[in-house]
Amino acid sequence: MPVISLLTDFGLSDSYAGIMKGVIASLCPDARVIDITHQVAPGDIYGAAYALSSACPYFPKDTIHVTVVDPGVGSGRRIIAVRTGAGIFLAPDNGVLSMVADKYRVSAAYSVENRDIFIHPVSKTFHGRDIFAPVAAYLACKMDMAELGPAVSEKSLVRLDYAQRPELDEKGRLCGSVIAVDRFGNLITNIGREDIEEAFGAGRADGQEDICINAGDRIIRGISESYSSVPEGALLAIIGSTGRLEISVNAGNAASQLKLGRKDRVTAAPCDAIND
């Protein structure tokens, strides 16, 4: 029986996430539901896209990933179901699947329009309950995706505009930005290990002292091997769990210490070039 993952901005104080699980348990009792998170900031499509693309590689390959961050609920926006090598993704067509689509080949996409599998009356404000949950349940119980509605082209899907990779400037510095801040205050950037190695040479991303990082008004010398490589309260740079450069504070919070957040600039370069 496939897993259904849920990723929403419903929070955990209201009953919305629980209701989706009630619908799924009613329609496909054997489906197993796993929460990715329900605490995406309200309407934060980008944050949801990041969380989804970070999490989906670690789920079973036949998972049905349901994302409901849907500020356009009740409008004419489409609901789409997309098949990839990382499972089926069900989401509003608002760009939230962009990062997944950049990572995995989309082998089929459908516009979810078959009202026979919705809960009626379909509300104007809670398609998580009335459309996403029953559709996920039917898919988990082996309904064919082609029954959801007409096939659509991958090119027709709404794309999020985001800086997937950093840029190399004329002085040879990798210019990236913060793409996520986690509970610990770690500043996760779009500078990948492979970006550093491509720009500065193989093996330059791990435990190197001659790569410097500029974040806010601070220069961090070297890329650490672990948080505790530096004293408590000290800043460090490290290759984090998604293979990207992160700025952290050992036993502290880099986001609040540096007053930086999503979209703020982070630069990496050989130390002799960082200040040029």
**Which residues are near a copy of itself by CB under 8 A?**
3, 5, 7, 9-19, 21-23, 25-26, 29, 32, 34-40, 42-43, 51-52, 54-56, 58-60, 63, 71-75, 119, 123-126, 129-130, 182-184, 186, 225-229, 238-241, 246, 248, 250-251, 253
Instruction: Tell me how far, at minimum, the Cβ of 81 lies from a copy of itself, in Å.
Output: 20
Kindly state the smallest distance separating residue 215's Cβ from a copy of itself, in Å: 17
Q: Which of 60, 172 has the CB closer to a copy of itself?
A: 60
Identity of the residue, 23 or 81, whose beta carbon is nearer to a copy of itself in the bound complex: 23
What whole-number distance in Å separates Cα of residue 189 and Cα of residue 201? 19
Q: Which is nearer to a copy of itself, 34 or 168 (CB)?
A: 34
Cis peptide before 121 (omega within 30 of 0): yes
In sequence order, what are the residues at sequence separation of 6 or more whose Cβ sits closer than 8 angstroms to the Cβ of residue 99?
49, 50, 52, 53, 160, 162, 164
Amino acid in the structure at residue 162: Y
Q: Could you give the CA distance from residue 47 to residue 39 in angstroms, rounded to a whole number?
A: 10
- Neighbouring residues of 58: CB distance < 8 A, sequence distance ≥ 6: none
Distance CA 9, CA 67 (A): 9
Q: Which is nearer to a copy of itself, 19 or 117 (CB)?
A: 19
Q: Closest CB to a copy of itself among 23 and 196?
A: 23
Task: Output the smallest distance, CB 140 to a copy of itself, in A.
Answer: 13
Residue 184 and residue 187: Cα distance in Å, rounded?
9
- Nearest distance in Å: CB 275, a copy of itself: 27
Q: Distance between CA 57 and CA 45 in Å, rounded?
A: 19
Q: How far is the CB of 54 from a copy of itself (least distance, A)?
A: 5
